[in-house]
């Protein structure tokens, strides 16, 4: 007698949330915008998710952790759904994102330098002579 492959259990939205670390409202949002397919429902209208939904949601979560925006994730999911396509487009999406991350890092370093300068120059006296307040006032007129 041959062993049958075990059927994967269907999960409620709460169990899917617990398994992936994605909050329930976020799962519903991903369904509404089409990143996650609307699952079948029980007679009592409860959503039931299979292993494919779990893998897809885990993919979305990891892509979000890496900072990809929703449109980039949509494109990456489309590529993932067509495994025979060349991966050049996926690489181009990742390279664009890497460039954006580099820009953000440069902006954060500039911000760090400005904040370091402000706090280093602060004499710790009265607000009327506070370098932090002065620097922020000086830049409040700029865009």
pLDDT tens for 52-98 read 999 999 999 999 999 999 999 999 999 999 999 999 999 999 999 99
Q: What angle do the packed helices 13-20 and 24-32 form, to 10 degrees? A: 100
pLDDT tens for 12-36 read 999 999 999 999 999 999 999 999 9
Q: What is the pLDDT of residue 122?
A: 77
Name the pLDDT band for 121 (thresholds 50, 70, 90). Answer: confident
Cβ atoms within 10 Å of 49's Cβ, excluding its own: 24
Residue 114's closest CA among 74, 142, 85, 83? 142
Provide the CB-side half-sphere exposure for 121 (13 A, CA): 13
Rounded CA-CA distance 18/88 in Å is 34
């Amino acid at each position: 007698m041959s062993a049958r492959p075990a059927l994967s259990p269907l999960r409620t939205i709460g169990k899917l949330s617990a398994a992936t670390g994605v909050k329930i409202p976020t799962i519903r949002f991903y369904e509404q915008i089409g990143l996650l397919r609307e699952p079948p429902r029980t007679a009592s209208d409860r959503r039931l998710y299979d292993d494919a939904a779990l893998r897809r949601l885990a993919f979305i979560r990891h892509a979000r952790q890496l900072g990809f925006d929703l449109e980039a994730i949509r494109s990456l999911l489309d590529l993932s759904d067509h495994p025979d396509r060349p991966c050049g487009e996926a690489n181009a999406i990742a390279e664009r994102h890497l460039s954006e991350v580099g820009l953000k890092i440069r902006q954060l370093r500039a911000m760090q330098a400005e904040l370091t300068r402000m706090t280093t120059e602060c004499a710790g006296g009265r607000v009327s002579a506070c370098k932090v307040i002065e620097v922020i006032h000086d830049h409040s007129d700029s865009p």
